[in-house]
Structure 1
Amino acid sequence: MKQGRSETVSAGDIETFERDGVVCLRNVLSPDEVEHLRKAVRKQMDQLGKSATGYDFEALARQVWDKSEPIETGAANRFDMQAMKDLVRGDVEARPLVEGGEGKGEGLFFYDVAAWKWDKGVRKVAFDSGLPGIATELLGASYLNFWEDTTFVKAPHTRQKTAFHQDLAYFQIEGEQCVVVWIPLDPVSLENGAMQYVRGSHKWGETYAPNVFISRTSFRSSPEKICPDIEAEPAMYDIVSFDVEPGDVIIHHVMTVHGAGGNPSGNWRRAMSLRYCGDTVRYFDRDGAIPQVGVSHDLGRGDRLFSSDYPIVWPKPWPGVSLADLYDRSGPETELD
């Protein structure tokens, strides 16, 4: 791949992304790159109950809707889940978002963040794969900052859906030059929780409040309006999904509305998402955004994302350099056991 140009993304892909707000690209990552992410996800899941950032949203949904169940998140402390339970139960329009069928209580909807900070394999994919060049070209950016990674796993027989939402208001940014790269680590279809995107929703001209994922209930701290109730009337929207294999990626615009079904199947649905910001994005600690993990910057509103918390991953300082290795030299490695 030449500096400044991706050989994986075509003019047609760029046209699709600009029109639909989402594009699926095939065979972008190598088997080794996919395995880097799988190893990191296994480490994260092994720490469930002991990690400060890992959650089981399936269990939390049961605790939210069952008045008799207390909130229990182990060592996880990133969110005030009791406050979330009170928020959802106080929302007269809130309802469980679950797939039908059997399997109540069997599933696992695992969530974690910021693996790149301690896992070199994740950094290799986020910094040194073809993804930064692809994201730069889709966005028409002059340079690209890496923002964060997030892990989403739906185990077999997980009924919990992911409420339709828009990503922008979850992030401490202003500006729309941002993409999210969704990376399947297992074969994924509608049968086991494929992502679903509302085509063209990035052009609606609306910013929607973050919701709590297990319900449409939005954060009270956000000044933005609630996302439309797409789950109630999906036929009214132009919804697209993709059957994908490991190595494929789905890239959506930060303003594109999207959600996912549950996983009532007997197959796993593991995925990691990577977020990238272009040169027109500025820092904005907006009301309602989810606090990031382990950031040390002192950026203020309107600042460029010039911080070690948001490494510049494109263009590279010289062709062939490993940015993951350069990051290693900037501080100690903190691999999970």
Structure 2
Amino acid sequence: MVSDAERAAFDQDGVVCLRNVLTDGEVDHLRQAVTGQMSRLGHSTTGYDFEALARQVWDEGETVETGCANRFDMQAMKTQVRSDTAARPLLEEDPVSGTGPFFYDVAAWQHDRGVRRVAFDSALPEIAASLLDAHYLNFWEDTTFVKAPHTRQKTAFHQDLAYLQIEGDQCVIVWIPLDAASLGNGVTQYVRGSHKWNSVFAPNVFVSQTPIGSSPERRCPDIEAAPGAYDIISFDVEPGDVIVHHVLTVHGAGGNTSDTWRRAMSFRYCGDRVRYLDRPGAIPQVGMSHRLQDGDRLFSADYPLVWPKPWPGFRLAEAFDAQRPGHARSRMR
């Protein structure tokens, strides 16, 4: 399912764009899941509007308000950003003033059967396993990123490894556009070959380059200040296409200066050489029930084994649902 040329591009560049991977039905499952997530903004414990948060961060006298969302301590984040002498707003130039959301949410797979069907039973697990040369593959998590038309907020360049409670770099992130995406509406951009820099960078807070304070890793380079000094690439994509990048590839995104939405979901897959690591500074996951210790394989219902399949045509999402009676209300979106 992955050509030799595509595999070579991934190995060399740390990112590859694959065309027509998902069906219309699979894309629609994810769109409906995102619509549901956005409808719960303010009432969800995991959904945030980073555009609003950025305005609150840079307004010294404003209190950070996140509704019911509690995954992050955003007031502490504001304090941290404002104490960072190198921090500055990361806003796209746009003659049209917009206030639409930069929406973020996570872990839709835990409650949405449609997302599980795409994450577990689409072409993606086999593709990820092929690119990683993995003997088996665990699904780690999904994340949703939506930028409304004329959302000026950029996504700071960052590297994914230090956000995750893992040891080892046999991991890929699959970026799935749910609308046509290009530089004009904020498609993800990648620093070609950065997965070979032999560096791990501290996670940042997305709306600023400020590192998360508890991470021992060093700060990601200020790529926004001198983009011409780096080999930055991007891909114009349509729904059904996917962009796969290595967990060490540095990437970011501009704002959305267009009149169209830019909805996307990303999936994370880990290969057999990855081990669990309660990494300082990693973002806390939601809904976890495992008791894994540092050095353990990711053998847990929290990290479903999605490849290889026991036989052709096996539908893992259906088997997974049958084993989770507490999730009988899972929606087929």
Verify same fold: TM over 0.5.
yes
Is 1:163 aligned to residue 156 of structure 2?
yes
Post-superposition offset of 1:318: 1.5
Partner of 2:167: 174
- CA deviations 1:165-184 (Å, max 9, x no partner) are 00000000010100000000
Partner of 2:32: 39
Partner of 1:186: 179
Amino acid at match of 1:35: D
Unaligned runs of 5+ in 2: none
Unaligned runs of 5+ in 1: 1-6
- CA deviations 1:12-60 (Å, max 9, x no partner) are 1100000000000000000000000000000000000000000000000
Partner of 1:292: 285
Report percent identity of matched pairs: 70
SS of the residue corresponding to residue 231 of structure 1 reads helix
Instruction: Pick from 301, 305, 308 the counterpart of residue 298 of structure 2.
Output: 305
Counterpart-to-counterpart distance in 2, 1:242 and 1:328: 35
Counterpart-to-counterpart distance in 2, 1:195 and 1:89: 26
Partner of 1:15: 8
CA contact (8 A) 1:87 1:217 kept: yes
Partner of 1:137: 130
Counterpart-to-counterpart distance in 2, 1:105 and 1:55: 18
Counterpart-to-counterpart distance in 1, 2:314 and 2:242: 23
Partner of 2:78: 85
Post-superposition offset of 1:197: 0.2
Is 1:247 aligned to residue 240 of structure 2?
yes
CA contact (8 A) 1:172 1:285 kept: yes
Partner of 1:330: 323
Partner of 2:272: 279
SS of the residue corresponding to residue 39 of structure 1 reads helix
Q: How does 1:73-112 map to 2 (within 5 A)?
A: 73-104=66-97, 106-112=99-105
Is 1:230 aligned to residue 248 of structure 2?
no
Q: Number of paired residues?
A: 330
Counterpart-to-counterpart distance in 2, 1:102 and 1:325: 48
CA contact (8 A) 1:178 1:253 kept: yes
SS of the residue corresponding to residue 306 of structure 2 reads strand
Counterpart-to-counterpart distance in 1, 2:220 and 2:100: 26
Post-superposition offset of 1:194: 1.0
The TM-score with structure 1 as length reference comes to 0.96
SS of the residue corresponding to residue 82 of structure 1 reads helix
Counterpart-to-counterpart distance in 2, 1:251 and 1:101: 29
RMSD of Structure 2 on Structure 1 (CA)? 1.0
CA contact (8 A) 1:103 1:158 kept: no
Partner of 1:4: none
In the TM superposition, structure 1's runs of 4+ consecutive aligned residues that sit over 4 Å from their partners are none
Post-superposition offset of 1:105: 5.2
Instruction: Pick from 208, 212, 219 the counterpart of residue 219 of structure 1.
Output: 212
CA contact (8 A) 1:59 1:105 kept: no
Post-superposition offset of 1:11: 0.6
- CA deviations 1:197-243 (Å, max 9, x no partner) are 00000000000000000000001100000000000000000000000
Is 1:26 aligned to residue 19 of structure 2?
yes
Instruction: Pick from 142, 165, 183 the counterpart of residue 149 of structure 1.
Output: 142
